Structure 1
Amino acid sequence: MSDVLVDLGAVPVAASAHAAVVPTQGGAEPPPGEPEFGKASPVALVVILLLGLATFFLIRSMTKHLKKVPASFDPEPQGDADGSSSGDAAGPQQP
């Protein structure tokens, strides 16, 4: 294996057979007098707006589905107090 180093914008930590590479911070410094903020792409604004719109529609859809959920999942009573049941009983009726 040859000992050829390629400049990847990183600083090697140790010069051994198993050297670790640590990336350096920063990049090209802006020219003096220019602000460092406000350089984001307009695509980022579009992505953020689309995420907000998708969130709005997801919340609206979940609200509609939650309105269909019953207040309680307890089983409904199967008859009156005297034990008679309506004609829509799921099980066999006893004589």
Structure 2
Amino acid sequence: MNALSVSDVLITLLAEGPTNTGPDVGKASPVGLLVVVLLVIGVFGLVWSMNRHLRKARDHFAAIEDGPTASSAGGTAATREPSGEPSG
């Protein structure tokens, strides 16, 4: 095949009109709408779940930054006075 015949074939293929030109060509089907709705519901569920996890993580790290509490230290840390200051 030489270059002239290849270009002739390409011109012939490009010059042909579309073969599938029915009334429903280019229109979305109800299945497409279902897919979009399911994707939106999935994204909403993921965002909701991630917000819950981030809230738990924020509370967890806030508790770590506050230090040991009276319940985790056996109750002695909250009642003990500093040794360098006189009491009462």
Tell me, yes or no, whether TM beats 0.5.
no
Task: Please give the TM-score of this superposition, normalised by the length of structure 1.
Answer: 0.40
Task: Please give the TM-score of this superposition, normalised by the length of structure 2.
Answer: 0.43
Larger RCO (CA within 8 A; separation ≥ 6):
1
* Bigger share in helix: 2
